[in-house]
């Protein structure tokens, strides 16, 4: 799956990491619902750091559609709230290729 972090670029993330990304995404959603900015910031950082850890950066000259777009590190809680779907930011199933 190709994941774009806004303002950073794209990473290829193996579908085997989807369960952990969903767990972190659920924590992010809960932090947004709570309205606690410190909790939100920690949850967003955890999700982005995990994507960076398990992902392989694509070269800047590689042009492919992103399966998933995540907000930038300093995104405001309201900006991220607008990006949420019923599943959060991370889909529960791998994208169909």
Q: Is the pTM of this model over 0.85?
A: yes
Domain parsing of the chain, residue ranges: 2-83
CA separation for the pair 27, 17 (Å, rounded): 16
92: CB partners within 8 A, 6+ apart:
18, 22
pLDDT tens-place string over residues 17-64: 999 999 999 999 999 999 999 999 999 999 999 999 999 999 988 889
Q: Is the dihedral of CA 74, 56, 95, 8 positive or negative?
A: positive
Top pLDDT among 81 and 49 is at 49
DSSP-H helix ranges across the chain: 18-34, 37-54, 77-83
Cβ contact 68:50 at 8 Å: no
């Amino acid at each position: 799956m190709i994941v774009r972090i806004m303002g950073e670029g794209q990473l290829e993330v193996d579908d085997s990491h989807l369960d952990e990304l969903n767990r972190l995404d659920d924590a992010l959603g809960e932090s947004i619902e709570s309205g606690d900015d410190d909790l939100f910031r920690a949850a967003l950082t955890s999700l982005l750091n995990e994507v960076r850890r398990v992902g392989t950066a694509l070269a800047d000259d590689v042009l492919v559609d992103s399966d998933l777009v995540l907000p930038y590190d300093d995104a405001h809680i309201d900006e991220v709230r607008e990006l949420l779907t019923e599943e959060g930011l991370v889909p529960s199933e791998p994208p169909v290729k």
